[in-house]
Amino acid sequence: MTTAGASESTERPPVVPQRAVLVLPTTAEFDSRTYRIASSLASRGHQVTVLARLRPGLPIHEAHPAGYEIRRVPVSAIDGLPFPRLVRAARVAIRRLYAWRTGTPYRPPAFAAPERSSDGVAPPQRAAPTGPSAAASWPRRLAAGLVRRLAIPLTIRSQSRASRGVAPKADLYHGMAYMGIPIALSLAKRDRARVVYDARDIYLDAANLAKMRGPMRTLIARAERHWARTADRVVTVNEPYADVMARRWSVSRPLIVMNCSYRTVIAEPRPRRFHGVLGLAPDTKVVLYQGGFSPDRGIEQLIAAIPDVPGAVLVLLGYGSLEPELATRAAEPSLAGLVHILPAVPPTELVAWVASADIVAMPIQPTTLNHRLTTPNKLFEAIAAGVPVVASDLPGMAPTVRAADAGLLVDPTNPANIAQACRNLLAEPPAEAAARRQRILLAAHETFNWERQMEVLLEEYGRLTGKPW
């Protein structure tokens, strides 16, 4: 199996080497879209830097094999405060005083940034206590909720401060997500450069922000609208998102750059990586979920469905806040040998792993506007690999599944419906299954591929900077 490493050549003016900086509110380890943009630009001779967040175990500077550089900075809410050293000292003093007054061992405070979801908001906490202790704990819960909300602007401020010291000058800044765009705008103001806001989700209606209420939600909405209107161009991933953003922010309709994968040649016989790693019997079928282990992605429904798919196992390939809970569930006797959890793989290897599955399942739950309109990366990665999907029958992804004849649409809330779709795909005669795979690959090579999407983005970059990319 081979994968293209850059946009295909077309009749374009000669490329003028330029400098691009992509700003991420994550570590950049598993961000496929950033990898595709950065690698495509680097292959055309541009100087590309990815500004990301540091976490223990990752290098501060990394030369990516695709030809671009990753620079990571430490980020925490405390570092976003006016006097972070004094805050740290005060926390230590309070801890020491508490230990002295109570006669308990001193426990140093943890200053690392809390774990966060992709939208930058702390993941949901455990259920609040009940009973006699609940009344006593309400001030602490109130304070914790306030801290979580204040952590959003403080974390942005922290990353912005740290990035200014390491960011090279650029001709164009590409800000990823609502926690990346303010940093990109700040750096672009310094360099008098152009800015693209890559709004890959409807963030105010996604994940934990969708549950937020009150003044902080209003402030975030106003801030994102301001950032979108300040940017030189807003980019998003599908038509429904573009409609919502244009209406909410009163901006020109965002440019559509779909989250497609590179055109890929799938070798025959197809790889069977999961069978090798997990020691599966040759005739075992693999239903794959790959991506973030987060609430409302349909993982729980898949686990409930897999016992009703004879001869198949469910493989969860990824990472996220639900991993401990999923591991506990997979260990239940009723699911013995049916659910396997594997760590996420780099974007350069992902399609090869996806191609090793028999079905890619994505029963995303219709819990938010963002989920109802989403066209997730995993859909296009499955199409690139020629693997049929079982996907939610929702307004975002259903048109793409139909256009590519990529698989079956289901009620994502119904495990029985999900299991039936998996059984139907796995029961297809070999010739019919092979024909379906070929139709999916044809759709990938003709329509749903990164080469076509990158041409759209390159043209917009050229319009913004006045020089061809």
Amino acid residing at 71: R
**pLDDT of the residue at 208:** 80
| 369-373 contacts, C-beta under 8 A, 24 or more apart | 369/202, 369/205, 369/210, 369/244, 370/201, 370/202, 370/203, 370/205, 370/206, 370/207, 370/210, 371/206, 371/296, 372/396, 373/202, 373/238, 373/240, 373/241, 373/244
Cβ atoms of 293 and 323 closer than 8 Å: yes
Alpha-carbon span 452 to 7, nearest angstrom: 7
Which uninterrupted H or E stretch holds 306?
Answer: none
CB 40 within 8 A of CB 66: no
Q: What is the pLDDT of residue 133?
A: 42
**303, 329 Cβ separation under 8 angstroms:** yes
**pLDDT at residue number 381:** 97
What is the pLDDT, as a whole number, of residue 86?
72
Nearest C-alpha neighbor of 287 from the set 431, 374, 399, 415? 415
pLDDT at 257: 98
Q: Judging by DSSP bridges, how do beta strands 2-3 and 264-265 pair with one another? A: antiparallel
DSSP state of 3: E
Tens digit of each residue's pLDDT (9 = 90 or more) over 96-150: 777 778 878 877 766 444 333 333 333 333 333 444 444 445 555 555 555 566 7
Q: Which helix (H) or strand (E) holds 217?
A: helix 215-230
Report, as ranges of residue numbers, the positions in the chain whose pLDDT lies below 50: 4-9, 111-136
- Residue ranges and CATH numbers for the domains of the chain are 2-77+154-261+451-465 (3.40.50.2000), 264-448 (3.40.50.2000)
CA angle 284, 286, 291 (to 5 degrees): 160
pLDDT of res. 121: 36
